[in-house]
Amino acid sequence: MNQKILIGGMVGIILIVGGIFIFHHHKDAVMAQDSDAANVPVNQLLQQATKYEEEGQKLKAKQVYDQIINNYPDYSKIEDIQAKLGELNVDLIFSRAQMPQTIDYEVVPGDSLGKLARKYKTTTQLIKRANGLKSDVIRTGEKLRIWTAPFTVLVSKSQNVLFVKSKEEVVKIYHVSTGRDNITPAGTFHIASKIENPVWFKNGGAPIPSESPENELGTRWMGFDTDTHYGIHGTLHPESIGKQVTAGCVRLKNSDVEELFDMIPLGTEVIIQN
């Protein structure tokens, strides 16, 4: 009798364990099928976006990438899509493409790039790049494409990322370095100065010229209004990007800070959050 009970119990345990294994195996299979099914429309959209880009239809490609990010935020490679969209957005900003944020402007007597940049709260570099200008000279009757929408910069210290936004749209996400021991000040600032190839005045010592290998500011400087000791700049140490290692400033790769420098004008709002 005891032997029969023991055998019956063992059979029951085997059936239970087998059932659990089958359940989990089935569950994993269903989840994998769901994931594969979810990837199907994304893959189709990616093919469509690639086709648009190959045809030079960047605005249509942008719309497709926007659709993926808005409708499939859990897609396993969503960060790659965000990076691709960021590159495409910047290409469009620096192009002649007509967008809701742009106007066509005909140059009149007395105009200059600086005057137009101030009037439309943009940068001379952005006007030049968008219109393929090789110099600062513009001529009466010339038609220019001008970006008119304001930019906002948002820095997350905990993630070491910098978001460039135009109104509510995230234009591009940059990886940055921030202050060691979380010393980068949090708050709202505005870009008060912009300098190409800045000289570094280290702790009140002798100025270090821009071409010196000891100049920690890299190729661009954008200083804050409320504390001129802090700002956004380039770096000699690209390997440090993504870490909290600076003396308090926000640091980008030189290629990234040059791109940002050309895009955002004086007065741009910078929000730094923990």
Task: Give domain limits for the chain.
Answer: 2-76, 102-147, 151-273
Q: What is the mean pLDDT of residues 176-195?
A: 96
What pTM did the predictor assign? 0.84
Architecture of domain 102-147: Roll (3.10)
Q: Quick count: other Cβ atoms within 10 Å of Cβ 231?
A: 25
| pLDDT class of 38 with cuts at 50, 70, 90 | low
What would the pLDDT profile of 196-208 be if each residue is shown by its tens digit?
999 988 777 788 8
The answer to whether the Cα torsion of 131, 91, 154, 179 is positive or negative is negative
State the pLDDT at residue 31. Answer: 43
Whether the per-residue pLDDT at 156 is higher than 60: the answer is: yes
Task: List the catalytic residues.
Answer: 233, 249
Diameter of the chain measured on Cα atoms:
110
Hey, what CATH topology would domain 151-273 get? L,D-transpeptidase catalytic domain-like (2.40.440)
Whether the per-residue pLDDT at 16 is higher than 80: the answer is: no
How many angstroms separate the CA atoms of 186 and 261, rounded?
Answer: 21
| Joined tokens for residue 64 | 């497709």
Is the separation of the CB atoms in 209 and 203 below 8 Å? no
What would the pLDDT profile of 211-265 be if each residue is shown by its tens digit?
888 889 999 999 999 988 899 999 989 999 999 999 999 999 999 999 999 999 9
> Which of the pair, 137 or 38, is modelled with greater confidence?
137
Mean pLDDT (the chain, rounded): 88
What would the pLDDT profile of 44-94 be if each residue is shown by its tens digit?
999 999 999 999 999 999 999 999 999 999 999 999 999 999 999 999 999
Cα Rg, the chain, nearest whole Å: 27
Is the separation of the CB atoms in 125 and 90 below 8 Å? no
| pLDDT class of 121 with cuts at 50, 70, 90 | very high
